[in-house]
Structure 1
Amino acid sequence: MSEAPSKLRLDKWLWQARFFKTRSLAAKVIGGGLRVNGQSIAKPAFAVGPGDVLTFAQGRDVRVIRILALGERRGPAPEAQALYADLDPPKARVPDPSLPVAEAGGRPTKRDRRIMDRQRDRLE
């Protein structure tokens, strides 16, 4: 039997832990700015192992993750969640009270839609 590796490529680990749908998306995030143990990393081939702390942006959230184990494959979600500990779980999003809300009566009007689009662009 082969022994489990003590280190694994960062992009491969992020993909196996199901943070990103593809390895190329993981590599793009790594190139855009990811920290391992407080040190900025720009290469997807950087080797990580159990005990390392990762800090990276995922969508609008900043994730802080401690690696607990290295995976052998990209398995189901419960198996992937066993690979890490979330040190700063994402908070539930509270809707912004300044954004217009469609009435319960149906779809927003064209004017309402334009207002929502303008405010969404202002937030991003």
Structure 2
Amino acid sequence: MINKDKRKYFTAGELAAIFNISKQSLLYYDKVNLLSPDFISENGYRNYSIQQFLDLEIIVNLRALDISIANIKKYLEDRSKEHFLQLLQEKTAECQAIIHNNQEICDTIERIKEDMHVKELN
């Protein structure tokens, strides 16, 4: 292995603590080829560069928006403004569909309550 200055790297534990995620999340991101460590030291520690730190920041923030791993992976491969805006637009459309569906549920509940109230008066 090439001798690397470990002071320029973050261990999996350090990254997990900084981003308040589990080390298992980092292992999963490596497994699905989303974020792999720059190198694994002789003692088995997984070491991440500053660029990977920045990538993880993107990943964590997009996951907080419930954007899929697959879509995050695509974005990391093409970090254009247009691609980012497309991700946000797709998420906005998804949220609007959920709001619409929930509004229909609320409307149905209100109709049932009104029907029950009318039946009580008769």
TM over 0.5: no
Structure with the bigger percentage of helix: 2
User: TM-score, with normalisation over the residues of structure 2?
Assistant: 0.36
Superposition TM-score, scaled by structure 1 size: 0.36
- Answer 1 or 2: which has greater strand percent: 1
The structure number with the bigger radius of gyration is: 2
